[in-house]
Amino acid sequence: MFNSMKCNVIIGIMMIAVLNLVGTHFQGLIVAKLPFEPFGLIQGITHRNIEGTDFTDCAYLFVYILSTFVIRNNIKKIFGIFLFYF
């Protein structure tokens, strides 16, 4: 239980640090072009801090959120094994 909590805290701190780092470099830049126009709830995330009205332009935050869903479990497994030995 304690290892799981420690692992979650470490991953949370890493994700916040990466979000801050990526945000400083890609703030206001278009990083992707979506093949569709997202619906209203998602438009706030996909078009965050981007000038213009083309909602198919995508900001870094949306790409970060999608990649976090994929990468987070793998990082958790890696740190779980790493913390198990220490």
pLDDT, tens digit, for every residue of 16-66?
999 999 999 999 899 999 999 998 889 888 998 899 889 999 999 999 998
Among 83, 65, 60, residue whose Cα is nearest residue 6: 83
Strand partners, 33: 57
Which pLDDT value is given to residue 58?
94
Asked if pLDDT for residue 84 goes beyond 60, the answer is no
- State mean pLDDT over 9-20: 88
8 compared with 34, residue with greater pLDDT: 34
Tokens of 31: 């990083």
Which pLDDT value is given to residue 17?
94
